[in-house]
Amino acid sequence: MTSAFSSYRFVDYAGKIVACARSIKSTNQLRYTSLSASEVARDVRPYPVGAMARKGFWRVLPRKYFSHRRRIDDSSSSSSEEASKLEETVARAEVVVVKWDPDSSAYANVTSLFHEDRLEARRFLARVCDLQRGMLDFVAAAAEPSRLSHPCLARAQTLMQAAMRRLEKEFYQILAANSDLLDPESRSVRSSRTSVSDDHGSDLWDESASPDQTDGLVARESIAEIERAAAVDVMTDLRAIADTMVFAGYGFECVRIYRTLRKSVVDEELYQLGFDRSLSSPQIKKMDWAVLELKIRSWLGACRVAVRTLFHRERVLIDHVFSNSNIAREAVFFSVAGDAALQFFAFPEWVAKSKWSPEKFFRLLDMHDAIGEVWPEVELVFSFESTSSVRTQALASFAKLTEAARCTFADFESTIQREPLRSPIPTGGVDPWTRHVMSYVTRLSDYHLSIMEIFAEWQPSPPQSAASDTSSSVSVSDTGFAARLDKLLEPLLSHLERKANLYRDAALSNLFLANNLHYAVNRLRSCGLLGEQRAEQHAAKVRQYLAGYERMT
């Protein structure tokens, strides 16, 4: 991560700056991240020019503070001139930095710079950037290593440390005090929108609304607009502070504060969504189904919100605050949301690896559908290389759920065959076991998209979102799953034939088979789970049983 927070880079005197910076680092007078000459030369622009000027400080600092880019001419700049320039820069910065040093002023210790006076905050950041540039210019122009111990340079570094203490304090306070505003879908905004929608519909000026109701709607909308504007100001302040700290070589401290506060926010909101991060794979394997089903329901309820709101919000916020450091954005996002996302998407895999049973089948399909639905957002939110493990985990869980669903269904097939024989219905009516099996199977019609995907002959691939599949006109009976249903009827018919043999009356035996097969085929046809051709073949079998019954009566 160190290279992500490298200070100002010069192309023309790369080797000289590296040598000076290393010397300063050894004397502990200036915090400067050392680079090799080749690393410095690869970047043809000084770090704070360009994107930072356009994005990072456009509302907080004037553009002129980031247009500094000049070639240093050792032949035309004397040591005294450089020292004089640095002294002037230090003197200008000292006025505002000392005023807001939390260690030297009780007022500064209890007051927020950005909240108290935004113009003053603008001046503070400008002076800090001037101070950093002045020190780097002084180091770059140093003719002798002995100049690195110049009293003015030591004074500048002491002042920079005081400025960074102030900015660390401001960064922490802004993040901690505005966690709700930093959520674009905060509870307050959601609450107001829900209230408006539920009580009065989408038409603000509905003639049927009373004046008091209309005033209330306007007030709530005004509050929402104020909150959104405040959130923009907060994010802009955070970005300005982060840019300044990274530019000054204090990116690590900035990232540490951000990671600590936002990681706790992510963990807390996942807990509020009902996801228990204390769970582990061994615990799930030992868990009773009734308890595990509650955990699965909680996960299903949290999945879409976690991906589309929680993780997406953190990605947007990090992209904004650390917009001028790609490596910082990657590292910060993974440290804030990576572990939580990995565990969140590992949960379905843990469930899939637990003991299979027919009652788990539909919950497996639910989780399979949920991952498939949010997969496009997962790819987008966790697109960084550092978060590739999250994408890999989501795909692994998706594949494991597919495998577990197939195996669970196969286990259900064998369960039908193993069902012990009990006394048949005296009148030759539909057997309770037939009703149970058909109720189970016809529930599959609610999962026809998943069924087409799970039981088709295919190798596991990135899941398609449910939205992209809704336009498909292919019926379930046209897929490989139709063959599975045919095979499912075989053990059921075999079981029914063995139970029919328990009748002493052959006519009742035929009637029993006709009624049960007719019931099963009709249930499957009504849900589109059986093709017309196969349904007609089974109907012919029903007519055959009825003919046998009529001959014997």
Over residues 68-91, the pLDDT tens digits come to 434 444 434 456 777 888 889 899
* Residue after which a domain boundary falls, among 177, 205, 225: 177
132 and 159 co-located in one domain: yes
329 and 450 co-located in one domain: no
What's the rounded Cα separation, in Å, for the pair 202 and 334? 39
496 and 411 co-located in one domain: no
pLDDT value at residue 553: 72
pLDDT value at residue 411: 84
Q: Is residue 105 part of a domain?
A: yes
Range of the domain at 164: 2-177
- CA angle (26, 28, 29) in 5-degree steps: 120
What's the rounded Cα separation, in Å, for the pair 47 and 324? 9
380 and 512 co-located in one domain: no
- Estimate the share of the chain in helix, then strand, then coil, as percent rounded to the nearest 5: 75, 0, 25
Q: Are 413 and 487 in contact (CB under 8 A)?
A: yes
383 and 414 co-located in one domain: yes
Q: Is residue 59 part of a domain?
A: yes
Task: Determine the length of the chain.
Answer: 553
Alpha carbons within 13 A on the beta-carbon side of 342 = 13
Instruction: Please provide the DSSP assignment of 227-284 as one string.
Output: HHHHHHHHHHHHHHHHHHHHHTT-HHHHHHHHHHHHHHHHHHHHHHTT--TT--HHHH
Q: Is residue 65 part of a domain?
A: yes
Helix/strand/coil for 152 = helix
pLDDT value at residue 145: 67
Q: Is residue 233 part of a domain?
A: no
76 and 151 co-located in one domain: yes
Task: Check the CA dihedral 221-223-225-231 and report its sign.
Answer: negative
* Residue after which a domain boundary falls, among 177, 209, 241: 177
pLDDT value at residue 486: 67
164 and 51 co-located in one domain: yes
490 and 403 co-located in one domain: no
> Which of 237, 227, 239 has its CA nearest to residue 183?
227
Q: Is residue 466 part of a domain?
A: no
443 and 386 co-located in one domain: no
41 and 70 co-located in one domain: yes
The tens-digit pLDDT sequence of the chain (553 residues) is 433 333 333 223 233 333 333 333 333 333 333 333 333 233 323 333 233 333 333 333 444 434 443 444 443 445 677 788 888 989 999 998 988 888 877 777 778 888 878 888 999 999 999 999 999 888 887 666 666 778 888 899 999 999 999 999 999 999 998 887 777 554 433 333 333 333 333 333 334 445 444 444 444 455 556 566 777 888 889 999 999 999 999 999 999 999 999 999 999 999 999 999 889 999 999 999 999 999 999 999 999 999 999 999 999 999 999 998 888 899 999 999 999 999 999 999 999 998 878 888 899 999 999 999 999 999 999 999 999 999 999 999 999 999 998 888 888 888 887 877 777 788 888 998 899 988 888 887 788 778 778 877 544 445 554 444 433 333 444 445 666 666 777 888 888 888 888 888 888 888 989 999 999 888 888 877 777 777 788 888 888 888 888 888 7
pLDDT value at residue 552: 83
Whose tokens are 């307050």? That residue is 188
Phi (first) and psi of residue 541, to 5 degrees: -65, -40
Q: Is residue 200 part of a domain?
A: no
Q: Is residue 360 part of a domain?
A: yes
Instruction: Please provide the DSSP assignment of 326-383 as one string.
Output: HHHHHHHHIIIIIHHHHHHHHHHHHHHHS---GGGHHHHHHHHHHHHHHHHHHHHHT-
* Residue after which a domain boundary falls, among 177, 206, 227: 177
270 and 410 co-located in one domain: yes
Q: Is residue 75 part of a domain?
A: yes
Work out how many domains the chain is built from and give that number: 3
402 and 539 co-located in one domain: no
